[in-house]
């Protein structure tokens, strides 16, 4: 384990264990070693692929592929549990600084592991909504964000950008809410009651059913209405929602609601949000570049101060040597020439560094205006 990674670890992982004990050092080394991190990342990617390949059918029907994919769940849970257990033993659980649950990404991992075990050992007759617990599996791809530094940076950058939008985002926040309120009252429960469609001979039309997409695609309440409106403004399956409401409510006035919703929401609102985020991202990029240039300049100044102090120390030593009587004339000439060469190289190096900083600032300004 390197000194940098060791210094980032807590001094005590449990009340009775310290870093001086051999097996805890081994645990810490496994947590930070590169092959272990790559193994976890590969497992997360494989789990995301398996989740994407699952096909959910009504009435709890399953395809043969889905049954095989469910068999892989216990293997993924075993690897995630081993990772969490290893980190808990190495870092401690929660009581001290630097422990496992003091990290936001570790809290996410812990929730995924606990809910995974609940769905594995609980049955459908236990009174717990297993569908909701299984939905927590969609958080597993976020583990990939915690394992890739650039992905973590982008994720945190987006979280930092969004509060900076201030007033421009009030309109995107309001527009999806307002259209969701409009059909809540006149279309309440109409998404379930098929009243505008006459069943053909040989079929029986019941008054109520669960509704499309397990009852999610509906206007029965403001939550489902906002979700349905969001689906419409993304233009993914909005025609299906239109036809469903036509069958439930009638096609006479539905177009008055859906056509303005698509025109304003899909074309105006989405582009407005993209414009706001693009502008804020440009500002954040400018701040990051300026900070990077400032840190580079500060490191260069610190190096120059250290170099100048080192050269001053050498020059003082050389002056002491020159002042000594036993120093020969040839040795004095050699020291003086070496001092002149060093001074010349230092001036040339300072001029080159100043020119490099100026070129970087110029290229940054040109890139900013181009962006």
Q: Which residues are annotated as a binding site for Ca(2+)?
A: 236
Q: How far apart are CA 172 and CA 158, in angstroms?
A: 16
CA angle 25, 28, 34 (to 5 degrees): 125
> Can you say which residues are annotated as belonging to the binding site?
236
């Amino acid at each position: 384990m390197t000194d940098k990674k060791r210094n980032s670890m807590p001094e005590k992982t449990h009340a009775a264990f310290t870093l001086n004990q051999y097996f805890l050092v081994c645990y810490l080394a496994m947590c930070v070693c590169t092959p272990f991190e790559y193994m976890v990342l590969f497992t997360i990617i494989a789990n995301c692929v398996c989740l994407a390949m699952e096909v959910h059918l009504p009435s709890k029907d399953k395809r043969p592929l889905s049954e095989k994919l469910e068999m892989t769940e216990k293997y993924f849970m075993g690897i995630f549990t081993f990772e969490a257990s290893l980190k808990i033993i190495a870092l401690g659980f929660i009581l001290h600084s630097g422990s496992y649950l003091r990290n936001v990404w570790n809290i996410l991992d812990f929730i995924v592991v606990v809910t995974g075990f609940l769905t594995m050992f609980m049955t459908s007759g236990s009174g717990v909504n297993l569908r909701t617990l299984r939905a927590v599996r969609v958080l597993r791809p976020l583990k990939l964000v915690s394992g890739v530094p650039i992905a973590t940076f982008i994720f945190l950058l987006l979280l930092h950008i969004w509060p900076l939008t201030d007033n421009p985002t009030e309109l995107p926040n309001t527009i999806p809410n307002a259209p969701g309120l409009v059909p809540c009252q006149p279309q309440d429960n109409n998404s379930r009651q098929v009243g505008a469609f006459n069943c053909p001979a040989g079929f029986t039309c019941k008054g109520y059913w669960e509704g499309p997409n397990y009852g999610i695609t509906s206007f029965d309440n403001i939550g489902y209405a906002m979700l349905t409106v969001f689906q419409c403004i993304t233009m993914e399956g909005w025609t299906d929602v239109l036809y469903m409401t036509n069958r439930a409510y009638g096609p006479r006035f539905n177009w008055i609601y859906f056509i303005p919703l698509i025109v304003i929401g899909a074309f105006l609102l989405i582009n407005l949000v993209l414009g706001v985020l693009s502008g804020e991202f440009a500002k954040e990029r400018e701040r990051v570049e300026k900070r990077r240039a400032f840190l580079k300049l500060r490191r260069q100044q610190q190096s120059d101060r250290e170099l100048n102090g080192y050269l001053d120390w050498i020059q003082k030593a050389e002056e002491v040597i020159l002042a000594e009587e036993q120093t020969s004339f040839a040795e004095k000439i050699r020291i003086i020439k070496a001092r002149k060469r060093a001074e010349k190289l230092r001036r040339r190096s300072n001029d080159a560094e100043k020119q490099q900083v100026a070129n970087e600032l110029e290229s940054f300004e040109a890139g900013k205006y181009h962006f």
